[in-house]
């Protein structure tokens, strides 16, 4: 399955948090820059209006006193007056528009930026002289300033805080997902700690209660199954002893065969009911496969051809009791329902160990593949055979999951059933 980082809850919360923070911060930054430009133009208009009004009052009340060095009065027809198109420059367009609204109607204005600093020429109605005052500084938008630096710093800090909050929210959910995965693989799951938001705590509490109820139900079923199977062993042993004492050979052989089948079913029940962890020591899978093949050749010398393709190496090891039960059930299933040759393969690939047992029979219909590992499911109409309880593959699937592996059942393209067990490589 392809890894998609933004398909997880944390990935989506991260994208949402960072996106909202970036959008809000840069919207705030744009608004502040626009408002600063508006305020700068407003203050420049007020200062220019005040300065022009001060020059007008000075001219009316104290015409004999000299004006400041940067303020001049120039006759209307002087050659130094800027041309009329000087006020069309984009830099001063907004400033001059607001200044005209603040000045009397009919006021003429010119901007002369040929020298530094720029100067503003103002000619009011009924005046014969231009009032020349220094133009208030108007700063255009800068590509980078301290505000942008602080904005980036604050955005990164807020994004890190948001990601930490998102991680705290999804951490209990990730723990719950891991517990659900282990429970689905048949592994033992302890109570999950209830943490996080109220809804997540309620979900965790419900999961813990469900696991407890299912575990109790399975325990009760296994105890009942083990008790029934155990109680049947003694009557079956007496029944076989009495059958072997019959004088009629055909009747004796038929009864013994039925007793053997019943004994096998009882043994399967006991094996399925035994849900305790395997405490046996790990053993080499390939060595046990070779031993199982020799045993089956000894039991079925004429019709049990087993081929070995062992390529995993000696490092592939599993608990001996579980491995022996899995191989025994797989070989019995292949011998009872399939056809020779039976092939046992092992290999290592993409960080996992693989063990496969396949036969050359008719396989299982695709509609029944999903039900093959369910307990007490009989697939005899698809594959033939009798005297079995429908627990063979269910036991293999349970033992594989208890060992941390996965059991996959499929039909071979060339015919027959193949059961593939995969286990993670552990140091």
Question: pLDDT-derived band of residue 143, with 50, 70 and 90 as boundaries?
Answer: very low
Average pLDDT over the chain, rounded to an integer? 77
Q: What predicted TM-score, i.e. pTM, was given to this entire model?
A: 0.47
Rounded CA-CA distance 24/27 in Å is 5
Q: What is the dihedral angle through the alpha carbons of 361, 366, 372, 376, rounded to the nearest 10 degrees?
A: -100
Identify which of 117-131, 235-249, 288-302, 344-358 has the greatest average pLDDT. Answer: 344-358
CA angle 164, 166, 171 (to 5 degrees): 95
Domain boundaries 185-276, CATH class = mainly alpha
Average pLDDT estimate for 28-33: 72
Question: pLDDT-derived band of residue 401, with 50, 70 and 90 as boundaries?
Answer: confident
Residue 202 pLDDT greater than 80, yes or no: yes
The CATH code that applies to domain 281-424 is: 3.30.565.10
Question: pLDDT-derived band of residue 21, with 50, 70 and 90 as boundaries?
Answer: confident
- Tell me whether domains 185-276 and 281-424 share a fold: no
Rounded CA-CA distance 407/356 in Å is 10
Residue 1 pLDDT greater than 50, yes or no: no
Comparing 50-64, 100-114, 154-168, 332-346, which segment has the lowest mean pLDDT? 154-168
Question: pLDDT-derived band of residue 277, with 50, 70 and 90 as boundaries?
Answer: low
pLDDT reported for residue 421: 93
Q: Is 101 exposed, middle or buried (0-12, 13-18, 19+ CB in 10 A)?
A: exposed
Three-class SS string for the chain?
CCCCHHHCHHHHHHHHHHHHHHHHHHHHHHHHHHHHHHHHHHHHHHHHHHHHHHHHHHHHHCCCCCCCCCCEEEECCCCCCCCHHHHHCHHHHHHHHHHHHHCCCCCEEEEECCCCCCEEEEECCCCCEEEEEECCCCCCCCCCCHHHHHHHHHHHHHHHHHHHHHHHHHHHHHHHHHHHHHHHCCCCCCCCCCCCCHHHHHHHHHHHHHHHHHHHHHHHHHHHHHHHHHHHHHHHHHHHHHHHCCCCHHHHHHHHHHHHHHHHHHHHHHHHHCCCCCCCCEEEHHHHHHHHHHHHHHHCCCCCCEEEEECCCCCCEEEHHHHHHHHHHHHHHHHHHCCCCEEEEEEEECCEEEEEEECCCCCCCHHHCCCCCCCCCCCHHHHCCCCCCCCHHHHHHHHHHHCCCEEEEEECCCCCEEEEEEEECCC
User: Which residues, other chains included, contact 8 with Cβ-Cβ below 8 Å and sequence gap of 6+?
Assistant: 170
Residue 427 pLDDT greater than 60, yes or no: no
Rounded CA-CA distance 304/146 in Å is 84
Give the start-to-end residue ranges of the domains of the chain. Answer: 185-276, 281-424
pLDDT reported for residue 325: 83
**What is the pairing mode between strands 306-310 and 342-349?**
parallel
Residue 385 pLDDT greater than 60, yes or no: no
Question: pLDDT-derived band of residue 354, with 50, 70 and 90 as boundaries?
Answer: very high
Average pLDDT estimate for 20-24: 77
pLDDT digits (tens, 9 = 90+) for 281-306: 888 999 989 988 888 887 777 666 88
**What is the pairing mode between strands 282-284 and 342-349?**
unpaired
Question: pLDDT-derived band of residue 9, with 50, 70 and 90 as boundaries?
Answer: low
Taking a C-beta distance cutoff of 8 angstroms, is the pair 109, 96 a contact? yes
pLDDT reported for residue 347: 93
pLDDT reported for residue 278: 62
Higher pLDDT, 375 or 321: 321
pLDDT reported for residue 387: 46
pLDDT reported for residue 85: 62
Rounded CA-CA distance 191/398 in Å is 21
pLDDT reported for residue 383: 44
Question: pLDDT-derived band of residue 382, with 50, 70 and 90 as boundaries?
Answer: very low
Average pLDDT estimate for 353-367: 87
pLDDT digits (tens, 9 = 90+) for 218-252: 776 666 666 666 666 677 777 777 777 777 777 77
Q: Please state whether 416 falls in left (phi above 0), alpha (psi between -120 and 50) or beta.
A: left
Q: At what angle do helices 392-402 and 320-337 cross, to 10 degrees?
A: 150
pLDDT reported for residue 194: 84
pLDDT digits (tens, 9 = 90+) for 177-192: 888 887 776 667 788 8
pLDDT reported for residue 303: 63
pLDDT reported for residue 269: 60
Residue 275 pLDDT greater than 80, yes or no: no
User: For the chain, what is the largest distance between any 2 Cα atoms, rounded to a whole number of angstroms?
Assistant: 154
pLDDT reported for residue 231: 64
Comparing 113-127, 225-239, 305-319, which segment has the lowest mean pLDDT? 225-239
pLDDT digits (tens, 9 = 90+) for 161-180: 777 777 777 788 888 888 88
Residue 378 pLDDT greater than 70, yes or no: no
């Amino acid at each position: 399955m392809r890894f998609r980082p933004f398909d997880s809850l944390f990935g989506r919360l991260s994208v949402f948090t960072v996106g909202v923070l970036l959008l809000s911060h840069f919207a705030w930054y744009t608004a502040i820059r626009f408002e600063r430009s508006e305020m700068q133009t407003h203050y420049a208009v007020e200062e220019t209006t005040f300065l022009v009004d001060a020059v007008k009052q000075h001219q009316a009340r104290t015409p004999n006193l000299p004006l400041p060095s940067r303020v001049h009065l120039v006759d209307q027809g002087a050659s130094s007056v800027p041309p009329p198109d000087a006020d069309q420059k984009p830099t001063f367009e907004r400033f001059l528009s607001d200044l005209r609204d603040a000045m009397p109607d009919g006021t003429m204005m010119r901007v002369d930026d040929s020298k530094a600093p720029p100067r503003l020429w103002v000619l009011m109605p009924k005046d014969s002289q231009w009032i020349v005052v220094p133009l208030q500084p108007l700063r255009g938008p800068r590509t980078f300033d301290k505000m942008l630096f602080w904005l980036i710093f604050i955005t990164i800090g807020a994004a890190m805080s948001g990601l930490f909050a998102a991680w705290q929210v999804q951490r209990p959910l990730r723990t719950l997902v891991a517990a659900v995965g282990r429970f689905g693989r048949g592994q033992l799951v302890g109570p999950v700690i209830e943490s996080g938001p109220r809804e997540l705590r309620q979900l965790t509490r419900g999961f813990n209660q469900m696991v407890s109820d299912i575990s109790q139900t399975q325990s009760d079923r296994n105890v009942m199954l083990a008790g029934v199977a155990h109680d049947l062993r003694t009557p079956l042993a007496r029944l076989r002893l009495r059958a072997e004492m019959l004088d009629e050979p055909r009747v004796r052989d038929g009864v013994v065969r039925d007793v053997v089948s019943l004994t096998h079913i009882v043994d399967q029940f006991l094996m399925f009911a035994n849900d305790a962890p395997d405490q046996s020591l790990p053993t080499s899978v390939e060595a046990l496969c070779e031993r199982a093949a020799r045993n089956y050749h000894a039991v079925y010398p004429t019709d049990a051809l087993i081929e070995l393709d062992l390529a995993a190496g000696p490092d592939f090891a599993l608990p001996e009791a579980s491995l022996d039960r899995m191989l025994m059930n797989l070989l019995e299933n292949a011998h009872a329902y399939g056809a020779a040759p039976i092939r046992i393969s092992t290999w290592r690939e993409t960080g996992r160990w693989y063990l496969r047992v396949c036969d050359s029979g008719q396989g299982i219909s695709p509609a029944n593949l999903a039900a093959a590992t369910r307990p007490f499911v009989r697939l005899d109409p698809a594959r033939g055979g009798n005297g079995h309880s429908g627990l063979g593959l269910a036991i293999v699937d349970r033992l594989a999951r208890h060992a941390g592996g996965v059991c996959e059942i499929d039909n071979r393209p060339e015919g027959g059933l193949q059961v593939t067990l995969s286990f993670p490589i552990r140091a």
